[in-house]
Structure 1
């Protein structure tokens, strides 16, 4: 970690309990719901990565979004005392499901993890230590490896370009706008505070594609950002992910609207030049995303 980041300590204060939630919705793919057809296939690996965490003072809440596959059987065999399983009575839309997961948390710190992503054994300890050491930090993120359905790395050490160390919120927001994508990372990459989540209103269902990034930007109204240059998570580029089910035009349209909302927010004072750069970079990022999605589909059919 760079000098701007406080070095992760061997243990985290015991008055801080980290809540980690896994997405386990295995309903048929729909644009307004978590598409988790392969969730049960990857859930064992995800659970293994979570229970391998070095912290004992944490709770692991697994929210089953009314699944109909083998998720319940897998969870029934989990033997880690830190795990608590909850189940939705009905299949909730994406934003509602993620909000329900966080709202069931008892701790101060939140790590949201989807049922097919992975984290390294020291991920939660490092991120919780940063937040526990500095109350002015609202969001901490790490780099991620991008993996396919089979767990093979397709891109390594992604994210946080120019955003490592401690950064003021406005600098981060400007880089988000100019990037044309999500330089902060997916839920697996970040950790935040429950109180800040409640203060800004949680996930907003107005967006599907940039939904998590939209929340990250609102959380940054409450404090600064720390980017850990270590790669501590793996994000799965699945052939059945929500991104894969959305068309290219939908993705670009949602991202454009998201950027326009940021620009309209006077708090951030976004220069017009940043919007021009965003327009160019968004097309480049879309081409890269589409290439990854096509590769994921081709791999899945082999």
Structure 2
């Protein structure tokens, strides 16, 4: 939290209104935020979307950035976003790039996506390339008109808002880095079962409002997300198995894979079977030697 708040206070653009929604925290969030001059709104734990909506309702500025407690803004983030939205009065939002950092703040290598600015909506269907919510700046009026952040979609609520605004063709993109996204084990994105469920629900709802001509894009998007989270779940199961963890959580991972990614399960089972057969052959003293690769008798 302190590094996130300090990154706001270090912005080259002024003035910046800093609002902190203390969503039932048990640490010293309130006192830290107050010491840095923030407006603090305390409430019982109602979830990420509700905290975002409460902050939005309290804000007085024309432009809005949502900064999670573990993330940071780069010094020119607000200035870059404001310039872009002032230059394009029709735009509802502008998004940029972000750095990925570890728990200690070290910058991690990250894949850079090629973004086609004329096809933002189609690209977003298969890839939420805005890792950190702080990489997006919204026009306040546009956020209010789209209903804010859905309360029942958890960490995928941001994704739902991006798609809803991009469907109207009113989201801008620039390649500049404006935020830092902190990766750690406690991140909500570490729960692949929940993330796959809410992400597919976002696509289901969005498909009802999108043109019929985009049906193939939605199918491709669902396949992409299932493959991405499916691979993540398989890696988690492998790791948990070797660590001796075989409880309810692992059962839920396996059931989710069977339901959403049956082809991947079959492929993984085949891989495991081949490994077992190869291991048995290598340890069986009576095993028949393999034929020469040319198919001719040797001697």
TM-score by structure 1 length? 0.70
**Do residues 252 (structure 1) and 196 (structure 2) align?**
yes
Q: What's the CA shift for 1:257?
A: 2.3
Contact 1:110 1:191 in 2 (8 A): yes
The answer to whether 1:172 aligns with 2:120 is: yes
CA distance in structure 2 between the partners assigned to 1:131 and 1:252 by the alignment: 32
The structure, 1 or 2, with the larger RCO (C-alpha pairs under 8 Å, 6+ apart) is 1
How many angstroms apart in 2 are the aligned matches of 1:72 and 1:258? 33
* TM-fit CA distance, 1:197: 1.0
Contact 2:97 2:135 in 1 (8 A): yes
Structure 1 CA distance for aligned equivalents of residues 138 and 173 of structure 2: 12
Aligned-partner Cα distance in 2 for 1:221–1:157: 25
Aligned-pair CA distance for 1:59: 1.3
**What is residue 47 of structure 1 aligned with on the other side?**
5
Partners of 1:291 and 1:184 in 2: how far apart? 24
Structure 1 portions without partners, runs of 5+: 1-42, 295-302
Cα distance change on mapping 1:268 and 1:115 into 2, 3 Å: farther
1:271 alignment partner, SS class: helix
| CA distance, structure 2, for counterparts of residue 148 and residue 287 of structure 1 | 24
CA contact (8 A) 2:30 2:40 kept: no
Structure 2, unmatched stretches of 5+, are 238-299
**8 Å contact from structure 2 (residues 99, 107) kept in 1:** yes
Matched position secondary structure for 1:114: coil
**1:56 corresponds to 2:9:** no
**Counterpart in 1 of 2:76?**
122
Distance 2:11 2:233 in 1: 33
Q: CA RMSD in A?
A: 2.5
Aligned-pair CA distance for 1:277: 2.5
1:227-251 Cα offsets, whole Å, 9 max, x none, are: 111112111122212222x3x2332
After superposition, give the CA deviation of every residue in 1:41-87 in whole Å (9 maximum; x if it has no partner). xx221122111101122212222223221223322432xxxx43222
Higher helix share: 2
Residue in structure 2 matched with residue 131 of structure 1 by the alignment: 85
Please name the residue that 1:32 is paired with.
none
**1:1-32: CA deviation from partner (whole Å, max 9, x where unpaired):** xxxxxxxxxxxxxxxxxxxxxxxxxxxxxxxx
Q: How does 1:146-295 map to 2 (within 5 A)?
A: 146-156=100-110, 158=112, 161-164=114-117, 167=118, 171-177=119-125, 179=126, 181-221=127-167, 223-244=169-190, 246=191, 248-267=192-211, 269-272=213-216, 274-286=217-229
Preserved CA contact (<8 Å) 2:48 2:155: no
